[in-house]
Structure 1
Amino acid sequence: MTLAHQRSLARPSKVLVTGEFEFSAADFNAIAEIAKAQAGIDLAESKATLVYSRLAKRLRALGLKSFAEYCDTVCQNEEERGGMIAALTTNVTRFFREPHHFEHLRKNILEPLTDQVRKGRRLRLWSAACSTGQEPYSMALTVLSVFPDAAERDIRILATDLNPHVVAHGKSGIYRKDELADVPQNMRAKWFEPVAGDSDSMRVSDTARALVSFRELNLMGSWPFKGPFDAVFCRNVVIYFDRDTQSVIWRRLSGLIEDDGALYIGHSERVSGPAVSVLKADGITSYRKKAGLRP
């Protein structure tokens, strides 16, 4: 139990949500405190109903009787802290979501580097919140459209997420056929294969999967790599953070991007803080790193 929760229990706390479980301001504040410390998530009290609906499922799964019990569990159990963060974040994704980003990647980053990469230059891309893998695989398919022989080149895509369950899904590379609706037909035919015993699903081909390395990573923690990356996708992530934390994330990301490399962000996000001085807008929610500058 957090110190804030202990203090709030010493005095009456208003009820924010009534239902199967009573959800008080003390419960909400304890959860918000943990979410901020664990993953940088900034929860306003106006989100109380959303938090309740997401976490009530966790209480039922754990057989708990109250949110006070749940707060105790989260404080004492690291695995459940991860489960709480996963429940509070939204893993909405699809193949080639925001298609202009992949078009920009192909035309402005990959194609201009064609000769250099064929002569041995390394190419590194990062999907910084990969969810269930559709984003990094869309990046891989875009790479393969320019470098069909990417397996023979020094090309790698890093895919990270703090949720181990979505990382495991991404590693499997298996998706329902209806999830492939936004994948161009020629790519589906070339880079996806049937799944034995499952006629409703397809698996990303070994060639495309080999380009992508999936890892668990909390963006609020240390980053065990140095880059530089030629392109970074960090979309619809910082919307969960307060303004100061957003600035820190943009600064850290921009420091790992290659000169003239690209950063792609969510449609409702804007770069802020020190990174503004080293990134220039280059299309819809697309930025390029200015040469020779560091945030």
Structure 2
Amino acid sequence: MTQHATTTAAPPLVLTDDEMRRVGELLYRWTGMIFGANKRYYIERRIAARMAHSGMPDARAYLGFAATDAAEREALINAFTINETYFYREEHQFAALARGMLPELIRTRRPGDLIRIWSMPCSTGEEAYSIAIWLLENWALVDAYNIEIVASDVDTAALDLARAGRYGARALARLPGHVIDRYFEPERGHRRKIIDDLRESVRFTPANIVDRATLAGLGRFDVILCRNLLIYFDDESRLLAASNMFDSLNSGGFVCLGHSESMARITDRFTMARLEDAIVYRKP
């Protein structure tokens, strides 16, 4: 009778309280997001995966490595970002863009003038492409102006997926059938690829809303969509993010936040604008 060796799975990683605090400190410094002890299991799983990938023998050694190695820092940030999104998410704000914000902005513009829109964070691209599709479908003056859409995120892996422009049924579920047929090419496995003309109309670039140095080269915008990010920040990071958004806007520009977020609770630098389709915030 032949005996076969049995393998024993490695025990799950258990971080000490000091290691948990260190993880939280690093992620907060790099992203502004809060990861506390209430997310211990989530944190331990991702740290364990990165330790295995990098060959670090223990959590202390790994955290020292991540703190000093730029590539590993990027990989760790990517492991902790949350990319829950889909096309036409909170579409009432796209309606507000076409029916309220843009008509207000073009009061002082001429046909052919540049209008810049920033999707931040853009995750895997659904929001930025949704902006382009919505305007093509719903704003009659879309071809009269030079619309530039810039999309940014701290998650470089998500940006790579956004540039590729391939999506499954779940991401496309809220799009009307004729919109899918018009802007997406069918691929195997019920997946779709966004058409090249639309994919090339959005510029994807890494940036961090709480790191002013990463925003310096982006210029100023007329509309910023920063939705469902500030809920992961503490008060200090929210104020820093709001200040950076303010400085990234042209005078009279607009900010759209998520439905559970309020700029009025963060700063009084913006004025609230109650449009027909949504409440947004404006730089005076």
* TM-score class normalised by the smaller sequence: 0.7 to 0.9
CA distance in 1, matches of 2:236, 2:278: 20
Distance of aligned partners of 1:132 and 1:274 in 2 relative to their CA distance in 1, 3 Å threshold: closer
Structure 2 unaligned segments of length 5 or more: list them.
Answer: 1-10
Structure 1 residue 89: Cα displacement: 2.0
Q: Which of 216, 219, 222 is matched with 1:224 structurally? A: 216
Structure 1 unaligned segments of length 5 or more: list them.
Answer: 1-18
Provide Cα deviations, 1:130-158, integer angstroms capped at 9, x if missing partner. Answer: 00000100011112124578578411100
TM-score after normalising by structure 2: 0.84
Q: Which of 260, 278, 288 is matched with 2:281 structurally? A: 288
The AA in structure 2 aligned to 1:108 is G
Greater RCO between the two (CA within 8 Å, min separation 6)? 2
Match of 1:91, SS state, is coil
CA distance in 2, matches of 1:111, 1:208: 23
Q: Please tell me whether the aligned partners of residues 23 and 67 of structure 1 are also in contact (alpha carbons under 8 angstroms).
A: yes
The yes-or-no answer on 1:251 pairing with 2:243 is yes
The yes-or-no answer on 1:132 pairing with 2:124 is yes
Provide Cα deviations, 1:217-254, integer angstroms capped at 9, x if missing partner. Answer: 12222212464422111112122222011012112212
TM-score after normalising by structure 1: 0.82
The yes-or-no answer on 1:170 pairing with 2:159 is no
The yes-or-no answer on 1:209 pairing with 2:199 is yes
Match of 1:277, SS state, is coil
Trace 1:47-126 onto structure 2 (pairs within 5 A): 47-111=39-103, 119-126=111-118
Corresponding residue for residue 15 of structure 1: none
Trace 1:190-209 onto structure 2 (pairs within 5 A): 190-195=182-187, 198-209=188-199
Corresponding residue for residue 240 of structure 1: 232
Provide Cα deviations, 1:56-113, integer angstroms capped at 9, x if missing partner. Answer: 2222333444222321221232111112122222111111111211121121123556
Q: How many residues align?
A: 271
RMSD of aligned Cα (Å): 2.6
CA distance in 2, matches of 1:177, 1:117: 39
- Comparing 58-67 with 132-141, which one deviates more in the overlay? 58-67
Distance of aligned partners of 1:177 and 1:149 in 2 relative to their CA distance in 1, 3 Å threshold: farther
